[in-house]
Amino acid sequence: MTDLAASSPIPERRARSQAWWNAVNAWLLLLPAAVLLVAFTHWPILATIRHSLFITKRNGSEVFVGTDSYGAMAADPIFWKALVNNFWFALGTIPTSIALALIMAVWVNRNMRGRGFLRLAYFTPTVLPMIAVANIWLFFYTPDYGALDQLRGLFGLGGWNWLGDPSTVMGCLIVMVIWKEAGFFMIFYLAALQQLSPDLDEAASIEGASRWYTFRRITFPLLMPTTLFVAINAVINSFKLVDHLVIMTKGGPNNASTLLLYYIYEVAFTFQDSSYAATLTVVLLTLLSAIALLKFGYLDRRIHYQ
């Protein structure tokens, strides 16, 4: 190859300039997306990481403190409380809302009367803003004259301060978020189910497979790409959704319903401690990146994509 190149330098130079132009073209095409990504994603991330290593004095000057903020965070009981809360919140909402979404999708995918109405009904919570949802459920959970307590009254049970009791507040939020999210995830499952060829079900039924067997061995594995997509979204949402806390609990009582992002918001805008907020944000970013890595690095390879 080198001999050939040496004996004919002109074609080689032409090839090299063509490759150069190709590269320039490629970068130009990537430029708009790259500018937006760098300006609004990559740069802020780097700035946050840098910011977490400094503290800002009252006069505006920054002082490098290294990992002192991280040390303070490790010693902060509210941070740990928020992290544990977030874990239970995720565990409570994700599997149930996904399972519910799948059941609803299979149910409304059938040919039946009132199918459109049922789909709409399941999807309605998604359309409502979180603030509105929180207000509706605030009424359900209101002690004594809320819907839930009136129902309890029918059975002769006394009132209960659902959101005011540390033992029930998280459960209440979880139920509400499941109600809000399941319909959204259902839409993805419904779309995926409609992509599946009815021939597969028929072929399985001719082989004598029961409905459950067909679902377990054919439908569910073929829905795995959707399940993964929905699961990733659900995980991100469990860290991202905090609007309802502002309306319903403000993280209380006794931080029993504080989630990580809500704590970050409080630290940054109520306590005005932006460098500690940056430190907490780095933790959140690390968690979310780990989930993304798990998806792209491991799960994607184990799932059948059509």
Contact residues: other proteins, CB under 8 A: 197, 199-200, 202-209, 213, 217-218, 221-222, 304, 306
- Closer to other proteins by CB, 2 or 306: give it: 306
Q: How far apart are CA 51 and CA 43, in angstroms?
A: 12
- Closer to other proteins by CB, 77 or 208: give it: 208
Q: How far apart are CA 171 and CA 11, in angstroms?
A: 72
- Alpha helices (runs of H) in 38-76, residue ranges in sequence order: 43-51, 68-74
- Closer to other proteins by CB, 3 or 207: give it: 207
**Minimal distance, residue 117 CB to other proteins, in Å:** 22
- Closer to other proteins by CB, 62 or 300: give it: 300
| CA distance to 86, 182, 260, per residue, from 82 (Å) | 6, 24, 5
Q: How far apart are CA 146 and CA 180, in angstroms?
A: 19
Q: Are 33 and 42 in contact (CB under 8 A)?
A: no
- Closer to other proteins by CB, 3 or 199: give it: 199
Q: Comparing C-alpha atoms, which of 238, 231, 248 is closest to residue 303?
A: 231
Neighbours of 173 (CB within 10 A): 26
- Closer to other proteins by CB, 225 or 252: give it: 225
Q: Comparing C-alpha atoms, which of 186, 153, 181, 149 is closest to residue 165?
A: 149
**Minimal distance, residue 118 CB to other proteins, in Å:** 23
Q: Which two tokens stand for residue 254?
A: 């006794």
**Minimal distance, residue 199 CB to other proteins, in Å:** 4
**Minimal distance, residue 95 CB to other proteins, in Å:** 22
Phi-psi region of 48 (alpha: psi -120 to 50; beta: other; left: phi over 0): alpha
- Closer to other proteins by CB, 74 or 200: give it: 200
Q: How far apart are CA 104 and CA 178, in angstroms?
A: 13
**Minimal distance, residue 244 CB to other proteins, in Å:** 38
